[in-house]
């Protein structure tokens, strides 16, 4: 189910969208801050941050290509971008993305198989 972006939207992202404004308020995220949304899924938090700011640079990163494709299709702000990537191996250099906030919110999901229990 989680490989299909539409299914993810109906199951997980609907909750992320409901909580995004409150989460951004809680973190003190303001216009001009930079946000790296790690485990962004289909982009709910990143899109909410972009909608409430005019100067912030926002990057969403997720390992699931279909989620990133969905987010890219639905993103409208030019300051917002989505990349496919693994939270354990981010390739952003400090000069490329100086973030005021990094959000791994609900990105912890159980993994199956030998050795993966340590990753959670």
pLDDT at 52 over 90: yes
Establish if 100 belongs to a structural domain: yes
Residue 44 within a domain:
yes
| Residue found by looking up tokens 């990057």 in the block | 59
Q: What is the pTM of this model?
A: 0.75
More confident residue, 68 or 108: 68
Residue 112, in any domain of the structure:
no
65 falls within a domain: yes
**In which domain, by residue range, is 26 found?**
5-105
Domain count, the chain: 1
What is the side-by-side order of every strand in the sheet holding 80-84? 80-84, 57-62, 34-38, 101-103
Q: Residue 68: pLDDT above 50?
A: yes
Percent of the chain surpassing pLDDT 90? 33
Residue 63 in domain: yes
pLDDT surpasses 80 at 103: no
Q: Domain for residue 119, yes or no?
A: no
Altogether, the residues listed in the chain come to a count of 120
- 53 found inside a domain: yes
What CATH number does the domain containing 64 carry? 3.40.50.150
The reply to whether 92 falls in a domain is yes
pLDDT tier at 82, thresholds 50, 70, 90: very high
């Amino acid at each position: 189910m989680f490989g299909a972006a539409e299914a993810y939207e109906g199951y997980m992202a609907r909750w992320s969208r409901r909580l995004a404004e409150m989460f951004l308020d809680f973190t003190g995220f303001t216009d001009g801050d930079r946000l790296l949304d790690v485990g962004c899924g289909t982009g709910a938090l990143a899109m909410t941050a972009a909608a409430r700011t005019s100067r912030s640079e926002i990057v969403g990163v997720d390992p699931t290509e279909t989620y990133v494709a969905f987010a890219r299709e639905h993103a409208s702000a030019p300051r917002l971008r989505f990349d496919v990537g693994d939270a354990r191996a981010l390739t952003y250099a400090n000069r490329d993305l100086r973030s005021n906030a990094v959000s791994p919110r609900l990105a912890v999901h159980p993994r199956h198989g030998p050795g993966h229990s340590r990753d959670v």
